[in-house]
Chain A
């Protein structure tokens, strides 16, 4: 469904991505793993058009995405839930949702989509008139996910959905991602929580210094030497 070929991204003289290629098939969850600054967010932002790529190709169902402005890419069905959630604190929960729905649907469908998403996030139903600033971190992440889903995306890009959340809230987020997988949503997932990301993903790519250094089946990656040494080992100590 999504094909990324030889993607290069630079910020001034700093090269963030060097020839990144990856694929996401329909209905699949693919995890993008790597240390801070490895280029995970750059990859996502280049796919969603928020950052301009210097070179490469990005195709969705065979159609070119690269070079389109960000709002047109959302229109094509690629929706990113950005790192840090970026909830509109001054807008109500309902306004946050309607804003995201308006990008993809006309008025009649908007109400149905709102209902559909609220069934998925019953917690938000009681808080529709609350301002975004009154939500806890976990609730804000749920709103961010709901905002991404309300546009009925073909491909959902999740950038660090569990970052900064309490363990209970993080578990809830991963539970939801598993639920989304079962309902057939296609997801590209960036996560610093490598173990949980690979537990929920079908396949994974490991980024280092702006390059893909490893890829494969999620279960295999979990046992891979490089990963155990570089990421999982540290994780284990942190958890303990």
Chain B
């Protein structure tokens, strides 16, 4: 029982990083109704910028974090211009396919620029784990969890307390109506994309700092975890992204403990499969059919 509870704690901490990845994903999907498969790889490239700063200048944690976020945002903007803005009149699937092509391109760039593949990344902290009665917590996990909570609150305030957030929500709900309201849709989309990339960059920094190393495969990993967590919660829903991330984290943590690390990713896919069969819209989302019904009911 103590093991199970401990796993739940660990899972929530792990899941908070998935939740951040999923929030970035869902923000982009919510505003554009388009999937950005290059989301993970752009974070990966940001992390390599962080590594570069670390190796070249022996920089501390904060500078590496800043470099990672700035790198992720710049690459994110590159992806947005190429895969979304340039073909905004085209079909949504065209954006998805081009974001896949850019993913491959980004991986190639990193492989050429960083031929050793695995590079060190400065850890968040070297403090010993803390004991709370029968449970123990790693300090870096607690930092990650705290950052995730703070970022989520910040995003909530941005979306519900500012004019910019109101515009994001309007464009996400109905871009046609937003255009009549005098909203510059291209600008709102661009800024929302940049925000999502920044959130992804912070999430990426926290995760990679935990691992203590970075490889080009991180892009694939981040896209998968973010995508799965988003789909569990419901595409386009921010509460869904948070819950989806936490659920994925807890299920994985239980799996690692009871079945072993090698089943970690397999169980993530199994969980996604179960949801796709029994609740395709996720916990908070609507299926496409429901969405259409809602649109018709719209007064």
Contacts and interface: CB of A to CB of B under 8 A. Distances in A.
Chain B associates with chain A? yes
B299 A88 contact: no
A71 B184 contact: yes
B167 to A, nearest CB: 7
Contacts of B183: 71, 99, 103
B173 interface: yes
B163 A102 contact: yes
A136 B170 contact: no
Contacts of B261: none
Interface in B264-299: 294, 297-299
A50 B177 contact: no
A81 B167 CA distance: 18
Interface in A44-102: 48, 50, 69-71, 74-75, 79-82, 85-91, 95, 98-100, 102
Given A102-B163, A132-B299, A133-B299, A88 B173 contact: yes
Contacts of B184: 69, 71
Contacts of A151: 182
B170 A87 contact: no
Interface string A130-168: 001101110110000001000100000000000000000
A228 interface: no
Contacts of A88: 169-170, 173-174, 177
Nearest to A148: B180
Given A99-B166, A102-B166, A135-B299, A89 B181 contact: no
Contact of B182 (A70, A90, A132, A140): A70
A104 interface: yes
Interface residues of B, number: 20
Contacts of B181: 74, 99-100, 103, 147
A71 B179 contact: yes
B299 A85 contact: yes
B176 interface: yes
B299 A100 contact: no
Contacts of B169: 88, 90-91, 95
A99 B170 contact: yes
Interface in A110-135: 132-133, 135
A89 B179 contact: no
Interface residues of A, number: 34
A87 B299 contact: yes
Identify whether the interface residues of B are mostly helix, strand, loop, or mixed. Answer: helix
A70 to B, nearest CB: 5
B166 A50 contact: no
A95 B160 CA distance: 10
B179 A140 contact: no
A133 B166 contact: no
A212 B298 CA distance: 33
B166 A98 contact: yes
A147 B170 CA distance: 14
Interface string B181-196: 1111100000000000
Interface string B142-172: 0000000000000000000001001101100
A133 B173 CA distance: 12
Contact of B299 (A71, A82, A98, A137): A137
A237 to B, nearest CB: 29
Interface string B41-66: 00000000000000000000000000
B182 A104 contact: yes
Given A50-B180, A74-B181, A99-B167, 10 more contacts: A71-B182, A71-B184, A82-B180, A86-B174, A88-B174, A88-B177, A90-B169, A99-B181, A133-B298, A135-B299
18 contacts: A71-B184, A71-B185, A74-B180, A75-B182, A89-B294, A89-B298, A90-B173, A91-B169, A91-B170, A99-B166, A99-B170, A102-B166, A102-B167, A103-B181, A133-B297, A133-B298, A137-B299, A140-B299
Query: Which 3 residue pairs of A and B lie closest in terms of their CB atoms, listed nearest first?
Result: A74-B182, A103-B182, A86-B177
